[in-house]
Copies of this chain bind each other. A is one copy, B any other.
Amino acid sequence: MAGCFELLRRDASSRARRGVLHTAHGDVQTPVFMPVGTRGSVKAVSPRELDELGAQIILGNTYHLFLRPGSELIAEAGGLHRFAAWNKPILTDSGGFQVFSLANLRKLEPDGVRFASHIDGTRFFLGPRESMKIQRDLGSDIVMAFDECTPYPATMEQAAKSVALTTRWETMSREQPLGSHQLRFGIVQGSVYPELRERSARAITALDFDGYAIGGVSVGEPEPEQFKAVEAAEPFLPEDRPRYLMGVGTPRQIYEGVKRGIDMFDCVMPTRLARHGTAFVTGGATLAVKGAKCREDFGPIDEKCSCYACRNFSRAYIRHLLNVNEILGVRLLSIHNIAYFMNLMKEIRQAIADGTFLQYGSTLI
């Protein structure tokens, strides 16, 4: 299916794009950041809060939901939207990344991976067919093809093999039935090798997906390699389809991704750093709210932020909550950090619309 993406404006001085992604659960203004709801919940945050924060789309993890509570239970509940009480768009990943990063006793087979659950060692098999079936059960708006996420570092030979396997698996993914409302995205691999990125992009785009992701980034490579990987693949991605940079990233990395033509991002960073007691503040710097410096600081986390946490609570109070392990501390930091990322994307969209995208970059560290 084509036509899910509408390009509203191209930035004159970069590859940045302003667009709209149409899904069965509503439109998504791009560039967009997707908060991660690994196991059917964006950690510590409620759907109502996410909605108030302006989250347009969230991500769910196939691997985690497959293990617990199981995709059949979620299908029985009426799908992930209904199960998790989230009526806006959901993107689900394919499960491949977690099989390679979390599961044990992995055995690669032509049609997928045999592995032992990281929770209790139960044996499972996950491949393109299984992943598509699970994502069909989940009923997500955007289904990701099953790929092999090439680890970093990889030799060119390893990376080339991984690209070939990815093409095979994505071809199989493309053939599986999905719900009529579901979009399907392909994923480009190729590690840090521009020629492999090009080869993978050509092979995957030939399969005609609704959108394309650049995978195998944010896996430990130096930041310049990440930008290079995007630059190597992007020219081969069709302009009329959305592009998604998986697992990225810091505010700066997101900006650099947008500059290179990316429309969609996801990362656990806002909620994970919140659990570590760290907040993002205007400009993209981080602040250790848990630190002693905030002990008697009765100002908000960020003067310029208008989220629930910043409107009502002081750094000193949140620091106290974090130090005594009160859940409200993590809740408030999670709300604030998501607010930061939502606001970042809003400003990026506005800057593209206003033709001030390059200047906007100078406000970020």
Mark A residues whose CB is within 8 Å of B: 39-41, 43-48, 64, 68-69, 73, 76-78, 83-85, 295-296, 298, 308, 312-314, 316-317, 319-321, 323-324, 326-332
CB distance from A362 to the nearest CB of B (A): 35
Minimum CB distance partner of A312 in chain B: B85
- Nearest first, the 9 closest Cβ-Cβ pairs linking A and B are A69-B320, A85-B312, A44-B327, A41-B328, A41-B326, A39-B324, A83-B317, A77-B298, A68-B324
Asked, given contacts A77-B298, A308-B48, whether A320 binds B68 with beta carbons under 8 Å apart, the answer is yes
Neighbouring B residues of A41 by C-beta, 8 Å: 321, 326-329
Q: State the number of copies, please.
A: 2
Minimum CB distance partner of A78 in chain B: B298
Which residue of B64, B313, B326 contacts A39 across the interface (Cβ within 8 Å)? B326
Q: A235 to B21, alpha carbons, bound, how many Å? A: 71
Minimum CB distance partner of A72 in chain B: B296
Asked, given contacts A76-B296, A296-B73, A298-B76, whether A84 binds B317 with beta carbons under 8 Å apart, the answer is yes
Neighbouring B residues of A85 by C-beta, 8 Å: 312-313, 317
Asked, given contacts A44-B327, A327-B331, A328-B45, whether A314 binds B68 with beta carbons under 8 Å apart, the answer is no
CB distance from A83 to the nearest CB of B (A): 5
Q: Are B76 and A317 in contact (CB under 8 A)?
A: no
Neighbouring B residues of A313 by C-beta, 8 Å: 85
Chosen A-B contacts, 29 in total, with CB atoms closer than 8 Å, are A39-B324, A39-B326, A40-B317, A40-B320, A40-B326, A41-B327, A41-B328, A41-B329, A44-B331, A45-B328, A46-B328, A47-B312, A69-B295, A69-B316, A69-B319, A73-B295, A73-B316, A76-B298, A77-B298, A77-B314, A77-B317, A78-B298, A83-B314, A83-B317, A85-B312, A85-B313, A85-B317, A327-B330, A331-B331
Q: Are A316 and B77 in contact (CB under 8 A)?
A: yes
Q: A48 to B313, alpha carbons, bound, how many Å? A: 12
Minimum CB distance partner of A326 in chain B: B41
Minimum CB distance partner of A84 in chain B: B317
Q: A77 to B314, alpha carbons, bound, how many Å? A: 9
Which residue of B44, B68, B298, B324 contacts A328 across the interface (Cβ within 8 Å)? B44
Neighbouring B residues of A298 by C-beta, 8 Å: 76-78
Q: A64 to B85, alpha carbons, bound, how many Å? A: 36
Which of A45, A46, A308 has the most chain B CB atoms closer than 10 A to its own CB? A46
Neighbouring B residues of A316 by C-beta, 8 Å: 69, 73, 77, 83
